[in-house]
A and B are shown apart, each in its own frame.
Chain A
Amino acid sequence: MRGFNHLPLILLFLLLFALLPFLPLGVWRAFLLDVGFFVLLFTALALSWDLVARTGQLSLAHGAFFGLGAYGAGLLAPQVGTLPALLLGALVAGAGALTLGSVTLRLHGLYFAIASLAFSEVLRTLALKLPFTGGPIGLPVPPPFAGTWPLAAYYLSFGVLLLATALSLWAEASPFRLAQAATRQSETVARVLGVRVVWVKLWSLLLGSWVAGLAGGVYGMKTLFLSPYDAFSLGRAVEALVIPIFGGLYTTLGPLVGGAVLVSLEQALRLWIKEGYLVVYGAILILVILFLPRGLVGILGRRRG
């Protein structure tokens, strides 16, 4: 079945991260679990961006969905508990996606990108001004399950990635992939072929926003604090798109490999090079983008879809 070509590798990846807390990592265990947490979280965010990118839409709103989920979950967690808060946060992000999509999805390429960026700015401004968000001072967030389970944040992050992977695999293996690919390659032709282009784009955006919202919710519970500039940062949106480009666009394995390599690489470089590590990090990014236009996954064979 299409999309499942790399299934053994994907399952191996997930298995490795599922078992990470139980591996004999010695003194590095806690550090690697922290790094693992952010690998899982940003990889999930990247997969959610890739889901939208498969329709040809360059979304810069993933920072906004991430922030909506983070604030939604952060505000609701003290009242309703961890899991309901995360789910409601994802729904808030979904509502944001519907709002954005209904207004802007008829725009193409860069126009949509600019509109999605403006959407992020509007939400950041709202988070700064609204009375219940904590404004510019920020919002304290309780840890998951009131801190009773040390591995809670890690496995919540793993759960978000699992969901993102499942959605991505489904999108790759189902006819939905064809609709996405047709929309990406030529909307006009896709319409002639009977593809409901706006519907495909809206669903992709909605699925992506749910995952991004969940990722944001878990992020807030790990960092215990949210501020508008952090939660709605353009940096998150850029991270979400760099990882799939680095790993391989329009695939499930690409963002998984890209996330694991990029996030770990950045952490490792910061340990080895105290100052100016970003120069090396940037150079590696540029080299990969220049010489591996299909990303790291391109090495494994011809790109599909």
Chain B
Amino acid sequence: MNNLVDQIISWVIVLYGSAVPALFVIFLVGITGLREITRYESGNTFLYKLNPVIKLVLTIVVMTVAATTIWWIGAILTLILLLSYLTLNEGVRKFGYAFFLTLSTILGGTWSIAPYTPPSILQLAFPNVKQFTVIWTFPSYFQVMGYEQQLTLEALIYGLQTAFRVAPVLLSALLFITTTTGSDIFRMFTKIKIPIAITFSVLVGIRMIPRIFELLDTSVKMQYIRGLGYGKPRIISSLLIVYAIFEAIIPTMVYLFRGAKNLAISADTRGFRAYPSRTSLVELKFTSLDYYGLMIIVALIILAIVANLLGFGRTIPYVGA
């Protein structure tokens, strides 16, 4: 009997252990929230005024620092980046969305690492721990799916630590997108000599991502208006959002592909690709604010070097699931 209960609990953990982060995103961020933190809105604060090249370099440096230093530096970076959302337009709301997305990323990241990490890696990560604290023992056949037989507290902590490698990168990437206009990204790519066809596609893609969320949101709401989940218990009706999103995909794609024609005609009639290069009225300028941005970049690089010299580098191998 106990064995059967163990089997059932193990399967529930495997199947739904990572559903919690998903629910965070679906209910607390929602499609509207995702649209809001992937869309540019004009603003006047420091981040909006920074040169896009500086912002891009900052994103890459944040990724490098998080990847090459100890986990708590990644955690501090996550906190600082999260707080910087407060400086944006509608900062508190954006901060809220970013907070839940980060929480979801950290929980999801932890779960995608912890059950797969073998004790040999954990011994490298926690050399002073004599005996690992076992939280759950999976049936032996779970090894076929790559699960370690025992889920330990240390494995969860290790998963949490590696999740802090991803969280600051996600936050800085979204910060770049929400504070930079499409035109500035176009100018930046042109400046670094990327072919115009590729730049154009990337730019259209950037504009499309929030639009896709918007269309999916409309389609999901329409399905609810037409009676999806009507008369069913509230919890079931709310969970049907997953089904509604699934149903919305093909119509949204067809709608977007049809609209693509107008966009292409519009670009062609404005002489797109008539000449190999384009001229721009606006030049990307390097202002005094960008020097502050540059100082932050230099400070982060120094932080990574000093942390490594002091023994706070990432010395354990990262083993992805």
A and B from one assembly? no
Residues of B bordering A, CB below 8 Å: none
* Chain A residues engaging chain B, CB cutoff 8 angstroms: none
